Amino acid sequence: MASHWRTTARTARDAILEDLDAAIARDPAAGSRREAFLTSPGLHAIWGYRLAHRIWQHPAYRLPARVLSHVTRAVTGVEIHPGATIGRRFFIDHGMGVVIGETAEVGDDVMLYHGVTLGGRSLRRVKRHPTVGSRVTVGAGAQVLGPVTIGDDVQIGANSVVVKDVPAGAVAVGIPAQVRAPVPGLEPEELLDHRSGHLDLTPGTGRSRRGPR
Q: How confident is the model at residue 197 (pLDDT cuts 50, 70, 90)?
A: very low
Backbone region of residue 148 per phi and psi (left: phi > 0; alpha: psi in -120 to 50; beta: other values): beta
* The predicted structure's pLDDT at residue 5: 65
Domains of the chain by range and CATH?
2-193 (2.160.10.10)
Q: Are 190 and 208 in contact (CB under 8 A)?
A: yes
Question: Which pTM does this prediction carry?
Answer: 0.82
The per-residue pLDDT for range 54-84, each reduced to its tens digit, is: 999 999 999 999 999 999 999 999 999 999 9
The per-residue pLDDT for range 155-196, each reduced to its tens digit, is: 999 999 999 999 999 999 999 999 987 766 665 556 665 544
3 backbone dihedrals φ, ψ, rounded to 5°: -65, -40
* The predicted structure's pLDDT at residue 201: 43
Vertex 17: Cα angle to 23 and 24 (nearest 5): 20
Output 28 or 78, whichever has higher pLDDT: 78
User: Which stretch of 40-44, 53-57, 156-160, 197-201 has the lowest confidence by average pLDDT?
Assistant: 197-201
Average pLDDT, the chain: 86
Output 185 or 153, whichever has higher pLDDT: 153
**DSSP-assigned letters across all residues of 180-204:** E---TT--HHHHT-TTGGGEE--TT
Residue 86 pairs in a beta bridge with 106
The per-residue pLDDT for range 118-142, each reduced to its tens digit, is: 999 988 889 999 999 999 999 999 9
* The predicted structure's pLDDT at residue 30: 85
Could you count the other beta carbons within 10 Å of the beta carbon of residue 50?
A: 17
Provide the 3-class DSSP secondary structure of residue 143: strand
